[in-house]
Copies of this chain bind each other. A is one copy, B any other.
Amino acid sequence: MSTRAEKVSIAVIGAGGVGSCFVTQLASLAKSRPSPKLSLIYLAIIDRALYHQDYAPIPLDNALEELDNFGFEPPSISDIIHFLSKAPHKVVVVDNTSSQAIAESYPAFLKGGISIITPNKKAFSGSKELWDQIFSSVGPQGQGPFVYHESSVGAGMPIISTLNDLVETGDRVTRIEGVFSGTMSFLFNSFSPINGEGGSWSASVMRAKQLGYTEPDPRDDLNGLDVARKLTILGRLAGMSIESPTSFPVQSLVPQELSGCSEFLDRLPEFDDRMDKERQEASKANKVVRFVGSLDLAAQKAKVGMEWFEKSHPIAGLEGSDNIISFYTERYGRLPLTIRGAGAGGDVTAMGVLGDLIKILRQI
């Protein structure tokens, strides 16, 4: 008979866009529903860490200021794991970084009895080997250590949890399709709108960059890898054996000529006619262009790229930078279960992380 943890210690790694929102939300949760069960024992950013050798709690209210004032050089990952695995209470690590090295250490965290929550896609969309190592290290249902990663696809939207529920209750998922990137959503909603005409492709990209909707180098969005990573995660959860996010067809919107060039945005207009042609051909068929990822579970196929949609299709009708994800299943029949909303942003991503923490606290 296993017992329930009286106290749970939290370690937070990363306090950037998502991480700082998370710490704020956690502090606010702790204030509105004080729980003697929960304490923060480790907080770190890339070059600074705060913790006490005796595991004394860090006050949540001004944790980020404390880190700023009293933080010191962070220990190595293996030292962090050692420190946390010796803690007197059960530990949950919240990895708000996008670090590959930390992602690769998840199996070691888990073997140390430490649960993991993260919006970081890297661990789940890397090699199949890492995936297998992670999920063979989690504890039995309801006992932990746990791995939760709701925000790795669609930020705080209930995508991962919904897919897991479908699979666990015995439904058969036949197809998953959607717009998985806020950047791609924004770009195509304005480049190929339902009503009226869009501007040039390069102008859309430049506007997206100005508004902060792209990565510092927009090629990191346009190469399709972000979408391929999310599709890899969903495919694996649905039971497909996907080797890596580059093991299936992914259409890159970065012209090959500009892949290594330092003046990408300056030279992008030279290639506007390619995207123009795609839009015109779709328009002749009375359709619009969208950048989608899709999984065909029956055929065990995944693909990422541009597709055309009827103007009345929910994917065509997206606005802003919204994501949309549809699950076609045996039980749902002809029409899918569809979830739509903001799939990026610090606050909604952090909310998914906090929701995971609440779910773990109920079980641990």
Contacts and interface: CB of A to CB of B under 8 A. Distances in A.
A337 B157 contact: yes
A231 B355 CA distance: 24
Interface stretch (A158-166, A274-282, A291-299): A158-166
B169 A25 contact: yes
A170 B25 contact: yes
A312 B348 CA distance: 26
Contacts of A319: 335
Contacts of A10: none
A141 B340 contact: no
Given A2-B3, A341-B332, A362-B142, A162 B170 contact: no
Given A3-B1, A162-B158, A331 B347 contact: yes
Interface in A309-364: 312, 314, 317, 319-320, 322, 331-342, 345, 347-348, 351, 354-355, 358, 361-363
Interface in A246-298: none
Contact of A158 (B143, B158, B170, B358): B158
B4 A358 contact: no
Interface of A: 1-4, 6, 25, 28-29, 32, 141-143, 156-158, 161-162, 165-166, 168-171, 194-195, 312, 314, 317, 319-320, 322, 331-342, 345, 347-348, 351, 354-355, 358, 361-363
Contacts of A362: 141-142, 362-363
Contacts of A166: 351
Contacts of A342: 332-333, 335, 337
Contacts of A171: 351
Contacts of A333: 342
A333 B337 CA distance: 23
Contact of A354 (B162, B169, B354, B358): B169
Given A142-B363, A169-B355, A354-B169, A338 B341 contact: yes
A342 to B, nearest CB: 5
B194 A312 contact: yes
A156 to B, nearest CB: 8
**Would you list the 10 A-B pairs with minimal beta carbon distance, nearest first?**
A142-B362, A337-B341, A338-B340, A169-B354, A331-B347, A165-B355, A169-B351, A2-B4, A158-B158, A362-B363
Given A314-B317, A335-B320, A158 B165 contact: yes
A190 to B, nearest CB: 15
9 contacts: A1-B6, A142-B361, A157-B337, A158-B158, A158-B339, A166-B351, A335-B342, A337-B341, A338-B340
A314 B363 CA distance: 37
Given A170-B354, A312-B317, A338-B339, 14 more contacts: A1-B4, A2-B4, A156-B169, A169-B351, A170-B351, A314-B317, A317-B317, A320-B334, A320-B335, A335-B341, A337-B339, A338-B338, A338-B340, A339-B340
A46 B314 CA distance: 43
Contacts of A348: 331-332
Contacts of A3: 1-4
Contacts of A32: 170
